[in-house]
């Protein structure tokens, strides 16, 4: 299952999830613990100026996949990541019948 192709702002960059914890020994030496085998990302997607049909597409995709993983191709770095929804899409009404949407994803 792939995330729908919608107008996406280039400020929708993936950001790394902090996966390291640094502890200090009594003498000040740093010890690093890793919580994940590989780096993971959070992605906050900005969809500006969605038409009513595009908003309906996003609504239907969320309803069908809100508990499932899916592939998301980031236009920023052209990498496909397996993701899940971190929250429902947030909408804001724009001029006329247009909407903007903010979608938060987490890489699995």
State residue 66's pLDDT score: 97
State residue 36's pLDDT score: 66
Chain centre distance of CA 70: 11
pTM for this entry: 0.82
12 Cβ partners below 8 Å, 6+ apart?
A: 43, 44, 45, 46, 74, 75, 76
SS3 letters across 64-89: HHCCCCEEEECCCCCCEEEEEECCCC
The per-residue pLDDT for range 56-80, each reduced to its tens digit, is 999 999 999 999 999 999 988 899 9
Tens digit of pLDDT per residue, the chain (108 long)? 999 999 999 878 788 777 677 888 888 888 887 776 778 899 999 999 999 999 999 999 999 999 999 999 998 889 999 999 999 999 999 999 999 999 999 999
CA distance 85 to 1: 13
Block residue for tokens 């899409």: 89
CA distance 108 to 81: 8
């Amino acid at each position: 299952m792939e995330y729908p192709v919608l107008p996406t702002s280039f400020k929708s960059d993936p950001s790394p999830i902090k996966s390291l914890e640094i502890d200090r020994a009594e003498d000040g030496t740093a010890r690093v613990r890793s919580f994940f085998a590989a780096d993971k990302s959070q992605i906050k997607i900005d969809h500006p100026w969605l038409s009513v049909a595009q908003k309906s597409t996003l609504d239907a995709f969320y309803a069908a996949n809100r508990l499932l993983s899916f592939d998301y191709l980031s236009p920023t770095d052209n990498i496909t990541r397996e993701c899940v929804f971190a929250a429902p899409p947030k909408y804001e009404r724009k001029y006329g019948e247009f909407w903007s949407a903010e979608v938060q994803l987490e890489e699995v």
